[in-house]
Chain A
């Protein structure tokens, strides 16, 4: 009986302790701005690894998701003679939900897991400790550029995703299924508002970028430094950040679009 309460207490305390370590790491990464001479070069290198390397998967999935949305939307809408509304259907669902969410999920799988594995291996091979031995703060040198790279590139990727997906929907809807091109764009323009839809979608993708990058970096930084620990941390990154993204998406949608 006592053991039972002890196990509950142990779990609660260790959860809070890990939350505290995660927050300290985030603040460390935010406050320790990379120094001016080395900083931009490190950031650019990470932008390349995290952002540019994810372009292909984001653009290809965007194209196909847009095409599938157009195909499915068309078959339903044509029954009501409302196939002209395909444009706003596709644009609104992409800008408000699918763009930020699917990008965040793909980003967690493509870039988040890589960040965790990289930092985890650095910890396992005691590279982080060696940096500290040389009086280089690993938060400043390793974590901070990766954090900012993720925070900058994910919203850009989400924008690219939405734009490519709308072009994909145009490809299927207009060029293949024969929706009128003029009404596709003009009804879309009359229904989509810049402040309400595009800006709110961008706010979402910034929040998701923060969540995914933070979880990925923390899992790597805090992993058990064995090969098993790294594999567990990488799995946890993908699972936890996907669940967190979906949960926060519901919250943000309820706040932004329910009124």
Chain B
């Protein structure tokens, strides 16, 4: 067999291998939020995280915006702290009154974090992004001014205080029995 034919067949073989790699990388694996793209980290303290795992999705209204990066125990308070890595596009967009809850997808499904977002006010966004705070007329309409409290926007490393723990079946039954007993 002449060299040219062999070289063509080897070329086909290598091209097929590269094509298989491309299929696996693009079609089979998630080329989405994992690893690629800028992220920032928020922390949240829970009483009980149930069976939440690292790499569990973080969703806003069902749309994945990040993944759980790590779960650790708070060194003094002995409650679980969840580190959430969230798409950097959403930095300084949520107010610190935003709540995070541990939810379950389906009846037997995996647990994930659901964020119920409260959108940060314009002035809080600007402070968070490090811009000069300018008193524009739109600020007057802010809820902050209405209630007379200054809210902050969440940035890298901040702690979310408003959290709802996972539902644990035994605790639910315990509460139910306790309530029955007190009646």
Residues of A within 8 A of B (CB): 41, 44-45, 47-48, 51-52, 55, 91, 95, 153, 155-157, 159-160, 162-164, 166, 185, 188-195, 197-198
CA distance A163 to B22 in the complex (A): 9
Let me know if A159 and B20 touch, CB within 8 A.
yes
Let me know if B28 and A44 touch, CB within 8 A.
no
Contacts of B28 in A (CB 8 A): 91, 95, 166, 188-189, 192, 198
Number of residue pairs A-B, CB distance < 8 angstroms: 83
Contacts of A162 in B (CB 8 A): 20, 24
A95-B28, A194-B25 known; A51 vs B20 contact (CB < 8 Å): no
Mask for B8-25, Cβ within 8 A of A = 1, else 0?
Answer: 011011101111110111
Residues of B within 8 A of A (CB): 3, 6-7, 9-10, 12-14, 16-21, 23-25, 27-32, 34-35
Distance in Å: Cβ of A179 to nearest Cβ of chain B:
16
Let me know if A45 and B31 touch, CB within 8 A.
no
The 5 closest A-B pairs by CB, nearest first: A156-B17, A163-B20, A194-B29, A159-B20, A52-B13
Let me know if B35 and A44 touch, CB within 8 A.
no
Pick the most buried of B7, B9, B21, B28: most chain A CB atoms within 10 A of its CB: B28
Distance in Å: Cβ of A45 to nearest Cβ of chain B:
6
Contacts of A198 in B (CB 8 A): 24-25, 28-29
Let me know if A163 and B24 touch, CB within 8 A.
yes
Distance in Å: Cβ of A65 to nearest Cβ of chain B:
15
Contact of A44 among B7, B29, B30 (CB under 8 A): B7
Distance in Å: Cβ of A209 to nearest Cβ of chain B:
12
Contacts of B32 in A (CB 8 A): 189
Let me know if B7 and A194 touch, CB within 8 A.
no
Distance in Å: Cβ of A41 to nearest Cβ of chain B:
7
Distance in Å: Cβ of A188 to nearest Cβ of chain B:
6
The contact sample of 29 A-B pairs, CB cut-off 8 A, is A44-B3, A44-B7, A45-B6, A47-B14, A48-B6, A48-B10, A51-B10, A51-B14, A52-B12, A55-B13, A91-B28, A153-B13, A153-B17, A156-B16, A157-B17, A159-B21, A159-B24, A160-B17, A164-B20, A188-B28, A189-B30, A189-B32, A191-B30, A192-B28, A192-B30, A193-B30, A193-B35, A194-B34, A198-B29
